[in-house]
Amino acid sequence: MSAFSNFHPLLLLVYVTVVLVTMFSSFHPIIVALAMIGGILYFLMLHGVRTATKDLIYYSFVFLLIAVAYPATVHNGFTPLFFLHEHAVTLEAVTKGLVIAGAVVATSFWTKSYFEIFTTNTLLAVLTKVSASPKFLVSMLWRFIPLFKIKWRENQMAQRGIGYYKVGSRVEKFRRAFALWRQTLVQTAEFSIVKPDVMKARGYGIVKERTRYKKRRFTKRDGILTAGLVLFLLYYIGYFTQHQTQYYPEISEQTLGAGHYVIIGLLMLLPFIYEAKERIKWRYLQSKI
């Protein structure tokens, strides 16, 4: 369980949005690097180094692929480093390729971390306040894909056990795989869509007024984070709208002071810092028992 997930769900969505908008609107190399480091550190805090190693290796290859492919295909810029197939590989293209790769990796880790803490129960708690009907629709769609994967794996293992795929023709093997996929799709859809019928059979919707358990309340802690985000947005709009990083025809990035990097670094590393602080506090309290 993440300590940072105890903030209000909508506030968490606003926070992640502010982080990504700050990164993409500025596209400053150091800001992108801070966003990527913050996303990776928080992801490691959620999953642990051993569990997250597979994701780290995968996104390292993604980073290298984008960083190499961009300057190899885009040849804009005034500072050639070397020539590849009679095309100049420029410093500007290499720099922007690294920034784009970092932005893609940062976005991936931030979204993965967000959906890790924004669970189905959290989504239902938020939607129930608006209306209960969208709640069931979204919950069905949310669980459809993982449920389909589970059913598909079960059906494949069962059919392999009875020799379903042991045919000589590749066309016949593909036809059988498609038939099994279609059967699994129908089975999963029926299993997911049966929930509204069950709720209706239990009398759901007969009484207009209903009680609900309000677990997610806007607390003082949420107010502090909201105030911090508002102040940061005012600071960002007032300063960075006048200082944009340009990569073509020459790199003309704005050199920021140390104070600006500290403020942005605190924003990007906030979940990691908060999570680390809560874990240290918890271990300290455990040691006092």
Q: Where are the domains of the chain?
A: 4-118+218-287, 130-201
pLDDT of residue 247: 76
Q: Which two tokens stand for residue 21?
A: 């908008």
- Element at 249 (helix H, strand E): none
Biggest CA-to-CA distance, the chain: 74
User: With a cut of 50, which residues of the chain have pLDDT below it?
Assistant: none
Output DSSP code: residue 84. Answer: E
Q: Which two tokens stand for residue 103?
A: 């932005």
Q: Dihedrals φ, ψ of 162, to 5°?
A: -100, 10
Residue in the block written with tokens 């059988």: 176
pLDDT of residue 41: 92
User: HSE-up of 105 (CA within 13 Å, CB side)?
Assistant: 29
Cβ pair 59, 108 in contact under 8 A: yes
CA distances in angstroms from 60 to 64, 108, 233, 274, listed in the order given: 6, 12, 31, 26
pLDDT of residue 65: 93
* Distance, CA of 205 to CA of 213 (rounded, Å): 17
pLDDT of residue 105: 93
Residue-by-residue DSSP string for 186-202: HHHHHHHHHHHHHHHHT
pLDDT of residue 39: 92
pLDDT of residue 260: 82
Residue in the block written with tokens 């690097």: 33
Cβ pair 59, 105 in contact under 8 A: yes
Query: Amino acid identity of 119?
Result: T
Q: If 0-12 CB within 10 Å is exposed, 13-18 middle and 19+ buried, where does residue 278 land?
A: middle
* Distance, CA of 121 to CA of 196 (rounded, Å): 17
As a residue count, the chain comes to 289
Cβ pair 159, 181 in contact under 8 A: no
* Distance, CA of 90 to CA of 92 (rounded, Å): 5
> What angle is formed at CA 6 by the lines to CA 16 and CA 39, rounded to 5 degrees?
35
* Distance, CA of 129 to CA of 212 (rounded, Å): 9
pLDDT of residue 33: 93
* Distance, CA of 42 to CA of 221 (rounded, Å): 20
